[in-house]
Copies of this chain bind each other. A is one copy, B any other.
């Protein structure tokens, strides 16, 4: 059992995305906190692997991004669930924090 505190990783990098691996030593999932300054984009990407991921907005607002220019407005409390092989990304409108869980870890 281990407890992580999201308040401990509330750090932003000017004009960029800051990344904190909470869980990266598990064979079952990976949990990562990304903090995006307002205006920053986590580009649309995908991996040709079996698996799913969730992207939970834990602070701020922005857009979930998908294939072909899809943009879904999103804010704190929203959770995107996607296959790993499905294109996905995020753009921050305000300073924005997301929690990403990937199973199995990649």
Contact = CB atoms under 8 A, between A and B. Distances in A.
Interface in A1-38: 1-7, 22-23, 26, 28-29, 31
Residue of A1, A23, A77 with highest tally of chain B CB at under 10 A: A1
Contacts of A104: 28, 103
Contact of A3 (B26, B28, B64): B64
Contact residues on A (Cβ < 8 Å of other chain), bracket: 35 or more
Chain A binding site: helix, strand, loop or mixed by DSSP? strand
Interface of A: 1-7, 22-23, 26, 28-29, 31, 50-52, 54, 56, 58, 64, 66, 72, 74, 77-82, 86, 88, 99, 101, 103-104
